[in-house]
Each structure stands twice: as C-alpha cells, then as structure tokens.
Amino acid sequence: MPGLDDVLCGGLTPSRLYLLEGTPGTGKTTLALQFLREGVSRGERALYVTLSETTDELRAAAATHGWALDGIDVYELVDEMGLDPDSEQSILHPSEIELGETVKDVIARVADLKPDRVVFDSLSELRLLAQNPLRYRRQILALKRFFAKRACTVLMLDDKTSETGDVQLHSIAHGVISLDQMPRDYGPERRRLRIVKMRGIKFRGGHHDFLLETGGVSVFPRLIAAEHHASFDPTGKSTGSGELDLLLGGGLVPGTNTLLLGPSGIGKTTTAIRCMLAALERGESATYYLFDEGLGTLLARSATLGMDLAPHIEAGRLVITQLDPAEVSPGEFATMVREAVEERGSAFVIIDSLNAYLHAMPGEEFLVLQMHELLSYLNQRGVTTLLVLGQHGVVGEVRTDVDLSYLSDCILLFRFFEAKGEVRAALSVVKSRVNAHERSIRELKFGPGGLRVGKALGDFEGVLSGLPAYRGKVAMLAGQGEDR
C-alpha cells in the first residue's frame, strides 16, 4: 500500500510486532492480506494464523478482491474441539512462562515454515480463551519474544471488543495502527487511519482517509504542503482576454490561486474555461475537477461559445474529472490533485465548485483547514489555480456558505445588475496579492465569440448592489451580432 508506506515514511521496521486495531468492517483482514501478499511478491514466506475465520472464508474474502492465497500458509489455530468447554484450560497453563498446548502448535508451525511475515487474527478470540487479563498479557509477551527471536514481522489484529480497551497492548506492541469508520447521514461511511505509536519511526500523525474497495485498501496520506516546494517562473500569463488581463493587472500568475465569486449563472465557469483554454493553447497541461455540471453539458456549452475543449482532451493536455462529492473523501481528492500535478505535470487546475466540495466535508472548519493545505501545496508547486464559489441570491444581498476569501491570492467578483430593463453582468477584481490590479467595475458578456469585457462602468453608481444609478454616457456592450 504506497499510501500507508508514505504515512509511515517508508514502511514498517522488519522483525517487529505491530497491533492493527479497528472495529468490525474497517478493513483489518483486507489490509493484513495485502501485507502478506506483498511479502510473497518479494519472495518471502507468509503465514496467516486465524482464530476467527476458516481457510475457506479467507479464500472467499480474497477472491472478492481478485486475489488468490497462493504462497500464503493459512493455519486455523482453534477448531471445533479447541472451542469445547472441557478443553478451555489448554490455552494457557498457570505458569508464568510456559505456553499452552494450543500456542505450542503455533510455535511448531512457525519453526517449521520459518515465515518472514505473520498475521495473527485475532486477539479478541485469544483474549476470551485466556480467561483473565494476566494470562492474556503473559501470552502476548511470550509470543512477542518468540517471534522476535525468529526475525518475523508480525501483525496482530484486534477488533476493539474488549470493555477495558486493552491499552496495555499498545505498550507491548512496537507500533499501533488504528482503523475506524464514520457513518454519515447520506452517502457511504468514511474510513480513516491513524498511527497511534511507532517506535523508532518518523510517521505522519493525524487521521488519513482510506478507501476499502475491490482490489484492496488505498490509503490517502494527509497533505502537508511544507513538504512539496518546487522552483518556477512567477511571470504573469494571459487569460486569453486583453481586457481581463488589464483588469487583473497583468494576467494570472503561476503559484497563485484565484477565487471566482458570484451568483449562479453569471459566467464563473465560462470565465474559468476561457483562462484555462489560453493555458492549453500555450502548451500547458490542465486538470479540471467538475463537481456540479455534467461533463457533456460543459463540453457542449463551451463549444457553443467558441471554446472547443475536445482537441485538447484528445491530445492529452486536458483531463476533466467528474466527481460525486458524496463519494469522494477530502483525502482522496487531495491525492488526486497531487497525482495530476506530480505525475501528469498539470500547471493549471480548476475546482468547480467549492460549494459541492463543502458538502463532501464533515464540517466547515475542516474545509478551511484542508483547503488551506491544498492551496498552499498548489502555490508552492507553481500551479495556477482557479476556484469557483457560488453565492446565494441574484441581485442585492448575496451570501456565501463559507468564507475562503482570506485564502485566495486574487478574487474576481461577479455581480448581476439591472440596466434599461435588462439583467447584465459586471466583473471586478477586489483583491490581488501579486499584481497592481484595476479597481474599476467592467461589464461582462458572453456570446459565440466567447468572453468579452467592456469598458469601466465609470458613469454608474451602485453596480455591486444590483440596482445602479446611471450618471453619464458610457455605452453598454452590444448584443450578439453587433461589434463595438
């Protein structure tokens, strides 16, 4: 699992005992099987010791992922006779150091196979068979010493069913990996992973999203922007519209993010596509993350406005990824963005829209924190980022679900306004950290020729309120078919 190796800054230290804990259904068995299959692929011997599942059940579980257990020895520690009440004392003798007959069978099997990797599934059944905490702890310590002498890397699985929580296991194990899942009111549950402890290993703390699906467990390391610096040229680049470049004070600057803020239907997406198309025509690679609109609708509408994206998609310069916010975790999305930048070389990224991304998050504070890391990462990699954020309302007072303005390097503000019985659109740059931008308000219009930005509306007052007063003779942009 490359993602888990990333979290562990390289992987697990060999010849140590690790505790993998999680409630039923979090993916412990799947993760353990991946651990053993990786060992087999490296020419190592692998052993799965089970008290909770039969060999047939394990093979069936592996088959659902398209796996076979070839090369993995499965040993059922307790059969029907071992669970007989009359034989319950055979697990451990009262002696402090002597193991019971059942565990001696494990010792014999390990001594015979000489495995490099061992999975012990699970400690919950062993806890019940041991009958009391003292015998249970002694048995775990004895097993730990036994495996350590034979250079085995061991994963012990625990389903957290004990009443006390068995914190003592954390002190015995060399490392502890905790899995949990969070049910939601709508959509699939979210699974998270956390490294509770890891002796002698630097690891990434906190929760990391992971996905349990056909093919196994995929871990998405929490993004830490400070680890991803890169050199780039911070020279401003054209948006494809000379007037918009003037409004921005020289175009869009690599290593910055621009927030397109305004009500629905005003042209935020179209403006973003115009800027992206200019980058594509310069030969840059781009990635578009589409949360709201259908892909077919987006392509058809863009082509109608003279911005055909199909040739760039066919050439591989543009990748449009349509996402369902109910299905994608924030960690998975951050990993997707990293892959686009680091593996495909995308220099231009659009997230459309942040409103849908907000609904994929467990809370507003998490959106701001994770978006801060994501934007910092993109800026440090020299990526030009456009963020689309819709507001509630049409004219007059408009509201936003979440305030991300302080995270943005540049803000393009869109507003509807009324003029001569017609609803029109205005555009203004209200913030820029990198350019000396215009503070004027210009009219914005779309047509078969694409995006058009008019002169400054100097003779209007109250445009941003939606109900302006006309004080002069500034001509509005002409309708379709009229050029002036």
* pLDDT (mean) for 85-89: 45
According to CATH, where is 3.40.50.300 located in the chain? Answer: 4-85+94-222, 237-470
Kindly tell me the number of DSSP H helices and DSSP E strands found in the chain: 14, 20
Give backbone dihedrals phi and psi of 368, rounded to 5 degrees, phi first: -65, -45
Choice among 9-18, 346-355, 398-407 with the minimum mean pLDDT: 398-407
Question: Binning pLDDT at 50, 70 and 90, where does residue 196 land?
Answer: very high
Q: In degrees, to the nearest 5, what angle opens at C-alpha 1 toward C-alphas 121 and 112?
A: 45
pLDDT at 458: 78
Whether the per-residue pLDDT at 334 is higher than 70: the answer is yes
169 within 8 A of 120, measured Cβ to Cβ:
no
37 within 8 A of 47, measured Cβ to Cβ:
no
Strand partners, 198: 175
Choice among 22-26, 44-48, 400-404 with the minimum mean pLDDT: 400-404
Pairing of strands 190-198, 175-182: antiparallel
pLDDT at 396: 59
Question: Binning pLDDT at 50, 70 and 90, where does residue 362 land?
Answer: low
**What's the CA gap between 476 and 148, in Å, rounded?**
81
Whether the per-residue pLDDT at 360 is higher than 80: the answer is no
For 340, left (φ over 0), alpha (ψ -120 to 50), or beta? alpha
**What's the CA gap between 476 and 454, in Å, rounded?**
8
Choice among 75-89, 277-291, 438-452 with the minimum mean pLDDT: 75-89
Whether the per-residue pLDDT at 10 is higher than 80: the answer is yes
Give residue-wise pLDDT tens across range 305-319.
Answer: 999 999 999 999 999
Whether the per-residue pLDDT at 79 is higher than 60: the answer is no
Distances 128 to 74, 104, 162, 222, 305 between C-alpha atoms, Å: 22, 18, 9, 36, 69
pLDDT at 476: 66
Distances 260 to 134, 320, 360, 439 between C-alpha atoms, Å: 63, 19, 20, 16
* Of 437, 478, 443, nearest in space to 463 by CA: 443
Residue position matching structure tokens 């030969």: 283
Q: Which CATH architecture has domain 4-85+94-222?
A: 3-Layer(aba) Sandwich (3.40)
pLDDT at 81: 44
Q: Does domain 237-470 have CATH number 1.10.287.90?
A: no
Question: Binning pLDDT at 50, 70 and 90, where does residue 270 land?
Answer: very high
Max avg pLDDT among 240-254, 395-409, 461-475: 240-254
328 within 8 A of 360, measured Cβ to Cβ:
yes
Whether the per-residue pLDDT at 87 is higher than 80: the answer is no
Whether the per-residue pLDDT at 95 is higher than 80: the answer is no
Q: Tell me which amino acid residue 242 is.
A: G
**CA-based torsion, 414, 418, 419, 424: positive or negative:** positive
> To the nearest whole number, what is the mean pLDDT of the chain?
86
Question: Binning pLDDT at 50, 70 and 90, where does residue 302 land?
Answer: very high
Paired tokens of 426 = 């205005």
* pLDDT (mean) for 399-406: 75
pLDDT at 5: 96
In angstroms and rounded to an integer, the radius of gyration of the C-alpha atoms of the chain is 30
Which has more confidence, 320 or 109?
320
